[in-house]
Amino acid sequence: MKTPEQRDLFPGALEMMILRTLKRQRLHGYALAQHIKRTSNDLLQIEEGSLYPALQRLLKAQLVKAEWGISSTNRRVRIYKLTAAGAKHLERQVSGFRRMLKGVTRVLALGES
């Protein structure tokens, strides 16, 4: 059984993707899950359910806000949007992630050459 803590992603990755997605548009949970799945080309094997604990963490840290509304398909949904703090947090996370990625890539490239 796979628990959210044992997922393939590194800690914080899912939150970062959620924030990034919400930066572009407000979405409800289902749409958010589908969007991440689609845009990652199903490369990341995320259980849809694991989205929700992540969303609760973001809510608690006040990086996102949620309110009940009506979706484009006329359903009652809970729509998430990024807060100002969320946007700032995302920027920091992304640049940190880029730096890390650069370093890791270099090390890996060395090994190959």
Partner 1 sequence: MSWLKQLFLRQRLYNDLDQEIALHLEERIEELVASGMSVKDASATARREFGNVGLVKETAREVWGWRWLEELLGDLRYGLRGLRKSPGFTAIAILTLALGIGANTAIFSVVDAVLLRPLPYHDPDRLMTIFESNAANDYFSRNAAAPGNFIEWRRRNHVFSQIGAASLPGFNIVGTVGPERVTGAAISAGTLAMLGLRPALGRDIEPEEDRDGANRVVLLGYALWQRQFGSDPNIVGKTIRLGTLPNTVIGVLPKGLTFPTENLDLWVPLEQTVSAKDMQWKNSHYLSVYARLKSGVTLMQARADLNGIAAALKQEYPDTNSGKGIYLVSVQEDLIGDVKPALLTLLVAVAFVLFIACANVANLLLVRATGREREMSIRLALGAGSFRLVRQMLTESVLLSLAGGAAGLLIDRWASETLLALRPPSLPLYNAIGIDSRVLVFAVGVSLFTGVLFGIVPALRAAGSDLNLASRGTSRGSTVARRMRLLRNIFVGGEIAISLVLLIGAGLLVRSFVRLRGNDVGFRANNIVTARVSIPEDKYPEDAQVLRFYDQLLERVRALPGAEEAGMTSFLPLTGSNFDNSFDIVGRPERPRSDKTYALVRFVDPSYFHVMQIPLMKGRNFEEHDRLGARRVMLISETMAKRYWSEGSPLGQHLTVYFGMDQSPWEVVGVVRDVRSKIASDPEPTMYFPYEQAAYRFMVVTVRTNRDPKTMIEAIRGATRTLDSNQPLSQVRTLDGLLEQTVMPWRFSMTLLVAFAVLALALAAAGIYGVISYTVEQRTNEIGIRMTLGAQPRSVLRMVVRQGMAVAAVGIGVGIGGALYLTRFLTSQLYSVQPTDPLTFAGIAALLAAVALFANYLPARRATRVDPVVALRYE
By beta-carbon proximity to partner 1, the closer residue of 33 and 90 is 33
By beta-carbon proximity to partner 1, the closer residue of 74 and 113 is 74
CA distance 22 to 89: 13
CA distance 43 to 24: 21
Give the residues lining the site for partner 1 (CB under 8 A).
Answer: 1-4, 28-30, 33, 47-50, 52-53, 55-57, 60, 62, 66, 68, 75-78
Least CB distance to partner 1 at residue 76 (A): 7
CA distance 56 to 65: 10
Least CB distance to partner 1 at residue 107 (A): 33
Least CB distance to partner 1 at residue 56 (A): 4
Strand partners, 79: 28, 67
By beta-carbon proximity to partner 1, the closer residue of 79 and 82 is 79
Residue 13, class by beta-carbon neighbours within 10 Å (0-12 exposed, 13-18 middle, 19+ buried)?
Answer: middle
